[in-house]
Chain A
Amino acid sequence: MSEIKSNIKKSLDNAEKLNETLNSFLKIEREYALNRAEELEKSSDESPLKGFAIAVKDNICTKFSQTSCGSRILGNYRPQYNATAVDKLLKAGAVIVGKTNMDEFAMGSSNENSAFGTAKNPWDTTRVPGGSSGGSAVAVASGVVRAALGSETGGSVRQPASFCGIVGLKPTYGRISRFGLVAFASSLDQIGIFGQTSKDAAEVLQTVAGRDANDSTTAAVEVPNYADEIGKDIKGKRIGVPRALFGEGLDNEVRNAVEQSIENYRSLGAEIIDIDLPNSKYSIAVYYIIATAEASSNLARFDGVRYGFRAENAHRLREMYMKTREEGFGAEVKRRIMLGTYVLSSGYYDAYYAKAQKVRTLLKQDFLNAFDRCDAVLTPTAPSVAFKIGEKTDDPLAMYLSDIYTVSANLAGIPGISVPCGLSSEGLPIGLQLVGKHWSEAVLLNLANAYESQFPLGAKARFSVAG
């Protein structure tokens, strides 16, 4: 058997075997992927990702597979077109082996809001993999694929990357086309990338980044050659540390690991400076107003008319809408649609939505001020290691607070990356987060690469591909 085909077959075999335990894939596309491997083998093109197995979150449209968004309301919906990011991957020779599990409509921090069962953390299957892109994180952490696409609205790539011990990149708003990414909160959403290493993430970013006429929010900003940046000396790079955010709510082991990582960066020649992000404590409040408001509008399209699920036994149109949405959406999605409806409703708009937009300006300004003095800001990615399945399901607000370190980057539109920086006493991965100024992905990837090459995690998930 040819090399590409045998690699893809291995990836599919691993996916199928591990999925019984980890539930990271909602759909594994064996026949499709093997056919594609065969085609690639015949082609003489030396495309950059030729034969590279990749997994894609199930809210990114693929016409050769389902796109369920982890929801009953879409079920086995099959799009009529590929997302631009998917088309670019395919053009570069990648092989998409399947669609991954996620919190319904990307709303969640644990994967427990999937309508198709939660994905499990490969380091400890009694724990969540994080979310919402949990399935993609698990597919990479378990070694089934080297990289995967996820999506980010408030940390949905960085937080699961941290929980699963891999690299997770959220690019600048406008860096990757969202054409074909099912919308959640349009002023925040970005496609993000998981890699076993920052080099893997950089290779995928190189392929999918850039302006797209089908997404007017993509910016005409030149895409640098990321590989050229990676490996450069980080001596003299200035890393800002907002100590005020290392207090209440932060797990001790995470704090210690991140403090150690700051010292490690210092030992690599980086200059560590103190910075202040005075409005960061408001980020979750701003986020849950803006994200729910936008979601209530975006999810109005799911009404049982044009695609997906429709409730039976409804005799009038409005009744059909209401029953379809009631039966088709899960609890967290309904909660957020209702919160968004409330904050946008007559008499409340100025008090909530307009207020949140103003505080968002302040949050962004905090970062712009900080970046006058430093190249990147370092914090923990998440306040804890992966928590137990079921631990936070009864308390939505407690779940929201697990995004405390990540949502600011989405609100400010800046890029961020999570890099493994240690293991807890129970052997669970801890991640450090670096965020940078707009369009500074190359700087972040280089800082991440410097860290992982000098201070590798040195352990693998318990459930992962051997060898």
Chain B
Amino acid sequence: MDVKKIAKLAHLEITEEEVALYTPQMANIVAYVEQLNELDTSSVEPMLGGLTKEGELTETRRADVPHESLGQEKALDQAPSAVAGHFQVPKVL
């Protein structure tokens, strides 16, 4: 398992020490979950999401009526860096 590559996909800048720690631990967990291969599931439908039958039958649509939004000030209130009504981030490129 290429933990460095996985970390990059997950946007985690992990250290060499962490690679050494996580590699055997994750390999161990993956080996454990592979016991599912014992089961023949070729004729089983997957369970998608967690809804009960009643949950699936519940009407979740609502009238398309605008309601008050959070507003710029509140939306930016917890930002680590905000300037002139925007979130501020380092250069993209």
Residue positions of A touching B, CB distance < 8 A = 77-78, 80, 172-174, 186-188, 211, 213, 216-221, 279, 282, 284-286, 288-289, 296, 300, 303-310, 314-323, 325-326, 329, 331, 334-335, 337-339, 341-342, 345, 352, 354-362, 364, 396-397, 400, 410, 413, 438-439
Partner of B54, one of A188, A219, A309: A219
What is the CB-to-nearest-CB distance from A8 to chain B, in angstroms, rounded to a whole number? 29
- Does the CB pair B13–A323 fall under 8 Å? yes
- Does the CB pair A397–B89 fall under 8 Å? no
CA distance A356 to B46 in the complex (A): 8
- Does the CB pair B35–A285 fall under 8 Å? yes
10 pairs of A and B residues whose beta carbons are closest in the complex = A357-B46, A310-B80, A187-B50, A322-B13, A307-B78, A358-B41, A219-B55, A216-B60, A285-B33, A360-B47
List 19 A-B residue pairs with CB atoms under 8 Å apart, sorted by A's residue number.
Answer: A174-B54, A186-B49, A211-B58, A219-B58, A221-B54, A285-B36, A300-B11, A306-B78, A310-B80, A310-B81, A322-B8, A329-B12, A331-B18, A334-B7, A334-B18, A338-B22, A341-B6, A345-B6, A357-B47
Q: When A and B form their complex, what is the total count of cross-chain residue pairs whose Cβ atoms lie within 8 Å?
A: 188
Answer yes or no: B84 CB below 8 A from chain A CBs.
Answer: no
Contacts of B10 in A (CB 8 A): 296, 325, 334, 337-338, 341
Known A305-B79, A339-B26: A282·B11 in contact at CB below 8 Å? no
CA distance A286 to B80 in the complex (A): 37
What is the CB-to-nearest-CB distance from A441 to chain B, in angstroms, rounded to a whole number? 13
Question: Which chain B residues in 23-37 approach chain A with CB under 8 Å?
Answer: 25-26, 28-30, 32-37
What is the CB-to-nearest-CB distance from A233 to chain B, in angstroms, rounded to a whole number? 28
- SS class of chain A's interface: helix, strand, loop or mixed? helix
Known A220-B59, A285-B35, A338-B10: A306·B87 in contact at CB below 8 Å? yes
Known A80-B70, A317-B92: A325·B12 in contact at CB below 8 Å? yes
Partner of A339, one of B29, B62, B89: B29
- Does the CB pair B45–A361 fall under 8 Å? yes
- Does the CB pair A217–B46 fall under 8 Å? no
Residue positions of B touching A, CB distance < 8 A = 1, 3, 6-14, 18, 21-22, 25-26, 28-30, 32-37, 39, 41, 44-55, 57-60, 62, 70, 74-75, 77-81, 87, 89-93
- Does the CB pair A357–B32 fall under 8 Å? no
Contacts of B51 in A (CB 8 A): 173-174, 217, 219, 413
What is the CB-to-nearest-CB distance from A133 to chain B, in angstroms, rounded to a whole number? 19
- Does the CB pair B90–A314 fall under 8 Å? yes
CA distance A321 to B8 in the complex (A): 11
- B1 (CB) vs chain A CBs: closest residue: A342
- Does the CB pair B52–A219 fall under 8 Å? yes
- Does the CB pair A397–B90 fall under 8 Å? no
- Does the CB pair A307–B11 fall under 8 Å? no
CA distance A358 to B48 in the complex (A): 9
- Does the CB pair A213–B62 fall under 8 Å? yes
CA distance A77 to B78 in the complex (A): 7
- Does the CB pair A355–B36 fall under 8 Å? yes
- A77 (CB) vs chain B CBs: closest residue: B78
- B43 (CB) vs chain A CBs: closest residue: A358
- Does the CB pair B33–A288 fall under 8 Å? yes
Partner of A320, one of B9, B39, B60, B90: B90
Contacts of A325 in B (CB 8 A): 10-13
- B88 (CB) vs chain A CBs: closest residue: A305
Known: A305-B80, A339-B29. 18 other contacts (CB 8 A): A173-B55, A174-B54, A187-B49, A285-B32, A288-B33, A296-B10, A300-B11, A303-B11, A306-B75, A308-B78, A318-B11, A331-B21, A334-B10, A342-B26, A354-B46, A356-B36, A361-B46, A397-B29
Contacts of A321 in B (CB 8 A): 11
- B89 (CB) vs chain A CBs: closest residue: A317
CA distance A217 to B48 in the complex (A): 13
What is the CB-to-nearest-CB distance from A408 to chain B, in angstroms, rounded to a whole number? 13
- A173 (CB) vs chain B CBs: closest residue: B50
- A307 (CB) vs chain B CBs: closest residue: B78
Contacts of B46 in A (CB 8 A): 354, 357-358, 360-361
Partner of A218, one of B58, B70, B81, B91: B58
Contacts of A319 in B (CB 8 A): 13, 90
